[in-house]
Amino acid sequence: MGSLSKLNFKIIFHLMGLLLLVNGGFMLLAALVSYLYEDGVLAEIVLAGIVVIGVGGAFMLSTRNHQKEIQKREGYVIVTFGWIFMSLAGTLPYIFSGAIPGFTNAFFETMSGYTTTGASILGDVESLPKGILFWRSITHWIGGMGIIVLAIAILPLLGIGGMQLFAAEAPGPGGDKLHPRITDTAKRLWLIYVGYTLAETILLKLAGMSFFDAINHSLSTLSTGGFSTKNESIAHWNGQPIIQYIIMTFMFLAGTNFVLSYFAFKTKFSRIFKDEEFKMYGIFIVVLTIVAGLIIYFEVDVINSTIAHPMVWGEFESAMRHGLFQVLAIVTTTGFVTADFTAWTPFLTIFFFGLMFLGGSAGSTSGGIKIVRHLIMIKNGMMEFRRTLHPSGVLPVRYNKRAVQQPIVFNILAFFILYMLAYIIGVLVFSWLGLDFNTALGGAASALGNVGPALGDLGPTDNYGSLPDAAKWWSTFLMLIGRLELFTVLILFTPFFWRNR
């Protein structure tokens, strides 16, 4: 018990209270939307907001005499429980308004929102009150904000998954130092995040979306979430390629390291094109799109799909566009849908299933394993050949022209192994809960990578509503550990975390 009492619970609860206050504030913003569109759930959302603010305020007040010291240990607890508390509080608008019946469903939907997964248990979103839809998109957006801070500042500090190498505030070589103080860095990146969101909203509005759809999709794109206000997701605009191209552009940006966006605004373009991860990210997207696009064009009869495919700019453009859209949606783990990739060819189904393990760039809002980790693992693998020939050689992996310290490589290898283990266990539990082979394989990959659409019964045209309750809970768990880069959550389950010393 020694160390348990040593944890600074007061500051943990104080910060939880702060998060709840923020959360409640955003609920009131959703209430404003509800008021403007007169959707009839104004009172319920306001009530939810007040309750959350009240609880948060109470937390903060009762712990105002805290010591301001935060150790690594508290860090893990704060990050993990931060997401859990936010998700618990976020269910209130759904429950009070009756938009989503049942706590399990509401919790699944909020966790899917905050982890920017975008998996939904709702079949008919269009019938929901506008205020609730807005709240749903806002959960993504808050989650995305949290991830930016997490990725650039907190995870490197906690030394998780090799993130110390890629983050903005990383000490030593490899880090792109933005500004010496974390809060300033966070503010700068948030400003970019907000700017991108506003830009996308305006562009989508100009391209012909309604203002409400535009803002919701922007919130959901920048956070690489995937919630849509339409039952058909982005396939709703299959007849308007411009809207889809705008969304693709912003999906690409959201999957890019936000630090690079910062450099772009500072017109330090050379820094961007020198970035190895960005180069790989670009190459991956282009190559994968060409593969997918050509197969769709030559092999797939899209007329058979349940989704309408009007080819307003010709068949080839349509094939390439849907190829690119699906590649971006899966790689950046956004999970928007313009076509059903499971209905194309068996190869493409497996292809997109594989992409769920790729992930976007580090320092972006995307989930998954992340390109930089693949890059370093592949380089390390190749280096092993040379190491066999030169047993005493000093042969470090190089990233962005610098040698990477071996402990960081091990960190990344450990991350990958844990990720795959979590995936296998995830699949096993799903199948034990009665999901079929495809659904279990796809569902676990999608939840762990925070993608959204999966395979089988959870395909791009389906939703998660049909899952058994236990499977929904298991999904939320996978989403949470995937989002928080495994270590942050899983370390709480290790005995040495709680042991003294």
Partner 1 sequence: MKIIIAGAGEVGFHLAKLLSFESQDITLIDTNRESLSYADKHLDIRVVRGDATSISVLKDSQVDKTDLVIGVTSSETTNITVCVLSKQLGAKRTIARITNTEFIDNKEEVGFTKFGIDELISPESLAANEIELLLNQSGFNDTFEFDEGALTMIGLTLSRTATFVGKSVKEIGTEFPALKYVPIAIQRFGTQYTLIPRGDTLFKEGDQVYFTTTKTGVDHIYKLSGKVREDIKNVMILGGSNIGKKTAKDLCKRSFRVKLIESDKDKAFEIADDIPNCLVIHGDGRNVELLQEESIDDMDAFISVTGNSETNIMSCLVAKSKGVKKTIALVENMDYFQLSHSIGIDTLINKKLLAANNIFRHVRKGEIVAMTMLNNMNAELLEFVVTYSSAVCDKIIKDIDFPRSAVIGGVIRNDEGIIALGDFLIKNGDRVVVCCLPQAIKKVEKLFV
Q: Which residues form the interface with partner 1 (CB under 8 A)?
A: 173, 390-396, 398, 401-403, 405
Asked if 348 and 295 touch (Cβ cutoff 8 Å), the reply is yes
For partner 1, which is the closer residue by CB, 102 or 175?
175
Residue closer to partner 1 by CB (options 2, 391) is: 391
Cα separations (Å) of 484 from 104, 150, 364, 419, 479?
21, 8, 13, 12, 9
CB of 389 to partner 1, least distance (A): 9
Residue 472 parent element (H or E): helix 469-483
Q: How far apart are CA 1 and CA 329, in angstroms?
A: 46
At 97, the amino acid letter reads S
Question: CB of residue 396 vs partner 1: minimum separation in angstroms?
Answer: 5
Residue closer to partner 1, measured from CB, 123 or 393: 393
Q: What would the two tokens of residue 442 be?
A: 């796809």
CB distance 334 to 225 below 8 Å:
yes
Least spacing, CB of residue 164 vs partner 1, in Å: 16
Nearer to partner 1 among residue 3 and residue 406 (C-beta): 406
Complex with partner 1: residue 403 or 428, whichever CB lies closer: 403
C-alpha 84/C-alpha 90 separation (Å) is: 10
**Whole-number minimum distance, CB 209 to partner 1, in Å?**
49
Return the structure tokens found at 17: 């209270």
Contact 403, 397 (CB under 8 A): yes
Residue 67 or residue 392: which is nearer to partner 1 going by CB?
392
167 in Cβ contact with 175 (< 8 Å): yes
Least spacing, CB of residue 386 vs partner 1, in Å: 8
**Residue 399: its H or E element:** strand 398-399
Nearer of residues 40 and 173 to partner 1, judged by Cβ: 173
Helical (H) or strand (E) element with 398: strand 398-399
Minimum distance from CB of 405 to partner 1 (Å)?
A: 8
Pinpoint the alpha helices (H) of 38-119. 42-62, 72-97, 103-114
Query: In whole angstroms, how close is the CB of 227 to partner 1 at the nearest point?
Result: 45
